[in-house]
């Protein structure tokens, strides 16, 4: 087997960990059967693709989907850190760890520089494609919160709704979706 193929297989095996990496924020809030990071990444990709259809401007869908798939890839090494947990870290620590994780994950791949560049564009919110994915990340978070509130009766998820208020979204189409989700919350 070539060294190149070994790097590619190592990457795929490491990335596969996301299927079993729990989204810890749900666990610490008492949700019993919660999603994995891979589940969330699918939701973000689907939401980003949907938003790219709703927003009335030309956007690079390939870049949007690449960002959506890569946005939490580092968590296959770092694990998922809840909102509550990440606020306790020194400023910049999480970002530095994620950069190192991405370097470790993608090291040796022919396309590593391109993928790291696209991921960094997302992290820096450099363009409308990155902002669509950021909105999608939060729309998916709140969609999942609503599902848990409705289906499990979990009521202590207010922190998530406060984390992503309507006015924090970049696009009017995203804000409309959030307002719709808010209107469907159990009373």
Q: Which fold has domain 3-184?
A: Hypothetical protein af1432 (1.10.3210)
Locus of tokens 């620590």: 93
Identify the pLDDT of residue 34. Answer: 93
Bridge partners, residue 36, by sequence: 22
Bridge partners, residue 22, by sequence: 36
pTM of the complete model: 0.94
Per residue in 30-73, pLDDT (tens digit) is 898 899 999 999 999 999 999 999 999 999 999 999 999 999 99
Q: Higher pLDDT residue, 54 or 154?
A: 54
């Amino acid at each position: 087997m070539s060294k190149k193929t070994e790097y590619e297989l190592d990457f795929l095996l490491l990335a596969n960990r996301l299927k079993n990496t729990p989204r810890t924020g749900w666990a610490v809030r008492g949700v019993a059967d919660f999603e994995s990071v891979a589940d969330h990444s699918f939701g973000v990709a689907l939401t980003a693709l949907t938003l790219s259809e709703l927003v009335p401007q030309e956007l690079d869908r390939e870049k949007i989907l690449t960002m959506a798939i890569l946005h939490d890839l580092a968590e296959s090494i770092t694990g998922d850190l809840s909102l509550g947990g990440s606020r306790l870290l020194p400023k910049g620590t999480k970002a530095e760890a994620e950069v190192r994780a991405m370097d470790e994950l993608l090291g040796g791949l022919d396309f590593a520089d391109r993928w790291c560049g696209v991921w960094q564009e997302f992290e820096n919110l450099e363009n409308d494609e990155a902002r669509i994915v950021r909105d999608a990340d939060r729309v998916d978070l709140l969609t999942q919160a609503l599902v848990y509130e409705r289906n499990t009766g979990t009521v202590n998820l207010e922190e998530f709704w406060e984390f992503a208020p309507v006015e924090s979204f970049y696009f009017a189409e995203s804000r409309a979706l959030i307002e719709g989700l808010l209107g469907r919350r159990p009373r």
